[in-house]
Amino acid sequence: MQRRLFIRLSAYTAAALTVPLVSGCHQKMDIASQPQFFSHLVDAKTIAEIGQAYRKTKQEEDSGDKLRSLLLGDSTQSIPPDNTAISTMLVAKAKNDFKIGNIAVVKGWVLSVTEARQCALFSILQS
């Protein structure tokens, strides 16, 4: 129940937040705030709390632009074709994080750093 609620909420949040962020490429980046696999396990509130906790410990990453840049890297230069491609790229990035041990333990959750950043971005967008 909570998971579905999150999926609805996050889709709504992403759509709503694209309006003020419509300047250029940001429009297609808000999918970056959704850790795809993890969002099937926990609700939006948990994602936001994890995001806030991550931002507290990584203050140098505590801005939407910085997080987008870290998440999307070079893809901000050449805009990916669509949300699906971004999502696929981030899933692969998260998996690779796990493989290379690029892990963040946030509020007890053992996450890839990519997922932790996605949570952080989500918490910024939601606030």
Structure tokens given for 82: 């669509």
Q: Any contact of residue 94 with other proteins (CB under 8 A)?
A: yes
Query: In angstroms, rounded to a whole number, what is the distance separating the alpha carbons of residues 76 and 65?
Result: 10
Q: Any contact of residue 41 with other proteins (CB under 8 A)?
A: yes
Q: Any contact of residue 7 with other proteins (CB under 8 A)?
A: no
Q: What mask of x and - would describe binding to other proteins in positions 96 to 115, judged by CB under 8 A?
A: -xxx-x-x-x-xxxxxx---
Residue 114 CB burial class (10 angstroms; 0-12, 13-18, ≥19): buried
Q: Which is nearer to other proteins, 18 or 36 (CB)?
A: 36
Q: For other proteins, which stretch binds (CB under 8 A), given 18-26, 37-45, 58-66, 79-87?
A: 37-45
Q: For other proteins, which stretch binds (CB under 8 A), given 15-23, 33-41, 66-74, 117-125?
A: 33-41
Contact present, 34 and 126 (Cβ < 8 Å): no
Query: In angstroms, rounded to a whole number, what is the distance separating the alpha carbons of residues 114 and 75?
Result: 15
Query: In angstroms, rounded to a whole number, what is the distance separating the alpha carbons of residues 13 and 31?
Result: 10
User: Where does this chain bind other proteins (CB under 8 A)?
Assistant: 37-38, 40-42, 94-95, 97-99, 101, 103, 105, 107-112
